[in-house]
Every structure is written in C-alpha cells, then in structure tokens.
Structure 1
Amino acid sequence: MAKLISILLRAQIRMAKPLIKKGGIEASRKSQDNLGKWEAKVLEDKVDFRARPFSRFRAAWAVPREARQSGAILYLHGGAYTAGTLEYARGFGGVLAHATHRSVLCAGYRLAPEHPFPAALEDALDAYLYLLSKMDARHILLAGESAGGGLCYALALRLRELGHPLPAGIIALSPWTDLTCSGASYEENLRRDPTLYRDSLLESARCYGGMDLENPLISPVFGSFADFPPSLLFAGTYELLRDDSIRLADRLERAGSPCELHLAEGMWHVYVLFGVPEAKEALARMETFAAELLGNTPFPGEDA
C-alpha cells in the first residue's frame, strides 16, 4: 500500500491533470522542462552538467561530484516522444547520477511531430555509439522512463539488428512499450491514474509512429528478447502503462533474459521521479543494480 505522503501527493497531481491536457503538447513540454530545471537546480551542488554536442540533437553529461564510480549510463527521457527537451532530461539525469554515483549521458533526442520515427531512435543510437567509442559495452547501462524506457528496448533491438554489442543492463521506469495502448490497464486504471489519458497517449503515438505502431522498434513489447542483458523495471499499480511493464517482463523471462519487476502498490506513472518514500527505495535498488553490473571499471574518458 502507498505511504500516506504518496497518497496525498497523488491527489495533488490529479488536480493538475486536466490543465496540462487542455494545453496540449506545448503545455506538456513547458511543464516537463520546468520540472527538469527544478531538479537540476536542487542538485547543483552535487552534480556537474557538461554539454556534449551531437550533430542532430543536444546532450549533456551529468557527473556526480562525490563518490564517483566507474562506468556510464545513457539516459533517455520520457514525454510520449512529443515532450521533454535536454532541460528536462538533465533533471532526472542528475538524480540518476547522484543516486548511482555514475556519469550519466542525458540525450535530448528530437521530438515528434516535428521529427517522427525513427528520429528518436537514431539519436539514441548515436549517443550509444559515442559511448561505445569510449568504453566497452560491459561498462554501459541504459536507463529511461516512460517513452524513454521503451526507447531503451527499441535501441537494444536495433543494436542487435546492426550487430553492435548490447549494454550491461537496462533500467526502465514505467516504460511505454506498447504504443497501441492495448493492455488491460489502459481501461482498468482510467480513473486511478493521476497523470495520463489514453486518448492523449494515442495521439502522441500517431505523431511519432504513424500507423506502424506494432513495429518492435516503436512498440518493443512486440519484439524478441533473446540474449538481452538483465533488466530492472519499476511501475505503479495505478498507472495506465502498468501492463506495458508486466508484458515486457513476461516476454523477457520467456526469452531467458533476466528481469526484475517492481510493481509499487497504489503508485502512479514514473512515481520514481517524485521524491516519495517509494521512489527513494527504487533509487537505492538502481544504485545496487548498477554496482552489480558495472563493478569497478575504468572511467569513460575526458568528457565524463
């Protein structure tokens, strides 16, 4: 059961839900960027942010100032592929860097509808190949929330297609892995989820993926996961996307790929970003997961 403070916060978040929907994509973009700027501000004495230019998108390193450990994380932000710039990505990227004591490359990939599929996937691939030029794949983790969580798996599927080595592991928070929005939770949690609307998600899905939404590089839950690295998944029982995580975990396990799924009772979409007690527990598990997979490996070079 959710902690009392989490229940109260969930009620407050629900109050803002209609306002953000009414404002459409622009309101979502502004809201997410403001959240990211606030998180980065809170962490300014704990994490350094360093720009890392790419030709088609913006990115930045989030580097912890203390207790820095080896390896690197590629962080892919959420926002239904239509919201979330680098300003937003730096926010949770900084939280992730501080929690895991690792350098985090935050990728502000291009957004739909201006840049539909495969733009986000191409940018994620560019960021990963950059890391791969600096270190062995065994020293890299992928992490993402919502659309970014799904993009982690789409990226891994694409890497396998291209014959590139897969990362050491994947961390996904409430990953959006089915852009057809066909899971039972999209109906069951319609009145429980304080942040998401199914029709808004479908609109964003069409902006990004057009009519090809069952393509595994768009909706990775329809992919094959043989020989995938270990996965760590978090989702809330009250969120629309709950079944995206459950179905993904089932597909991974059926393929023989290790997967650890945490379903937090009474929690909402990407609750890990909200600083509640359940979020702190999840971040502690991420730190342990990163240590288990990355160990004591060399630093990734001068950029990090």
Structure 2
Amino acid sequence: MSINIPAFYPELVEPVRFIGGKEFDFSRRVVVMAILNRTPNSNLDPHKSMEVESLARRAEEVVAEGADWIDVGGRAFIGVRTQLPAQVEIDRVVPVIEAIREKTDAVISIDTHLPEVALAAHQAGAQIVNDTYALQSPGMTEVVAETGMGVIVAHSLAGPGIHLERPTYSDVTADVARFLQSRVEHALQHGIQPNRIFIDPGHDLHKNTFDSLELTRDFKDIARLGYPAMAAVSNKHLIWESLGVERGTQAVTHGTVAANSMCVYMGARLVRVHDVRRNVTAMRQMESLLGLGERGAAGVARPAEWP
C-alpha cells in the first residue's frame, strides 16, 4: 500500500513583509525564531537565564547561527499559584530587549499576553507581540493597533498561568482553526493590518500530546487560513512523550527538528526554536526540497515598512 501525502503550499495574505528594515517573503522562506527567556521556571529552555548580559551574548550567537528574529519572554506559560505582576515581567524583559537592540538589528518579538508589557517592549525596540492569549487581554488589541506592531495570534483555552486539568476538543484542528479565524477577524476589525498578523495553533498549550500530534499532522488546515503560521513545538511534551525519552536529551532536539520539518511540509512558515543551528540547517534544506525559492510570488507590491 502506498501513501501519498502532498506538501501544502498556503496562499498567503501579503507574503512579502518588511519588519524593522528586513524583508521576509514567506512564500519563499521559512523564518527561524530563536527563544530567549529571562525566567527561572521555563522547564523547556536549556538557555534560560536571569542574567541580561548572558542573554545578550546568546542573542548574538543565535543571529550568527542564522536566526531571523528573537522571541523574548519573561514568564512561563505553565500554570502557577500566583500570577506574575506586569511590572515584574516588564523589569525582566525590557533590559534584555534593550541589550539585544544595542548588539543586533534582529527582529524582536515579545512573548506576552499583557498590554502593559507589550507597550514597554515596543518602546524598548520590539516589533511583534507573540500573544498566547490571542488579543483577549483588555487593552492588548488597542496597543497592537496603535503602535503598529505585528502580532502572532496563538491558540490557548485560558492563557498563560492557568492550569486546566483535562482540556477536551470535539476536533482539535477544526476547533483551533475556527478560534484563530475568529481572532484574526477581531484583529482586522480593530485596525490591525493584515500584513502584521501571524497565527500559531499553540502546540501543547492546554493540549495533550495526542492533540498536539494531531495538529502537526493536520497543520495544513491551520496554514490554509492564509496568514503565515508558526510551529512552536520546540522541546515540548509532544516531542519527548511521543518518543518515550527524557526531556533535555539529544533525542528531543532531533525530534524537534523532525516535527518542525513536518509542520513546514504541511505549510508552516515560521518555527520557534531553542536549538537554532540545527533547525536553521533543517529549514534551509526544507526550502530546497519544497522548491520554495522557485515558487515565490513575483510583482508583489511593497507594503509600508514596520517600525
């Protein structure tokens, strides 16, 4: 018996985008986003640190390794007993963003669901909000629209810091796709331009390993929404649980590369990763295998450059 699973090439809304002076053609290239966390409790991140200079050096390293942009975070998504105050999060991330901005012109996103943090990060030099609560925090939509920042709209059932014992879905991919479509429509209705919107199905965010594997297999149903879709699977439970290995092992790194490659084959055009070097190599190979350089949209009008 032969199985034929064709690659999926999404028709993207404004595939050519200019962010902070850099051009990204998402019809031709897979963007690699490096993770930098200034938090003590990100269990997935081997490079997490509370030292600003250490993170700034790491930023220089990942850019040299081929990262297209850097995602800075100050809190873990996992459920905790007490919510982290916005000012604590600001105090964590702003010095890191400022230090990165001094050393590199890389695109910077801020991983937050709080508008106060997004605004402070923007003022420090971040251009994109990576929002795992999908513009549902009061005031976040207005901050993104008024500053002209980009936004990654990610699916979760309750946002960061909220533990759900047994989240369930009738059809996880269909449920997530409907949610993302509704949040994109919300963004557009409130003045966020389409060329500033990205989407993320939120692997492992209020999802078990079976849910996340299903999302990976059916990633085309997320990518077909038409906005550049991000795979954020790096080092997550779906990798080490499905492989039956311990977290923190080389097998998890290799499994991450494989899962990212599967998502890209199914239409993802951004990958958010801890191990930049290996994933950059894999994504450049995927571009070649998929012929993305040969399929780029010609004659696309140049949109306004982002701040």
Scaled by the length of structure 2, the TM-score of the pair is 0.37
Q: Which structure features the higher share of helix residues?
A: 1
Please give the TM-score of this superposition, normalised by the length of structure 1.
Answer: 0.37
Higher relative contact order (CA 8 A, sep 6+): 2
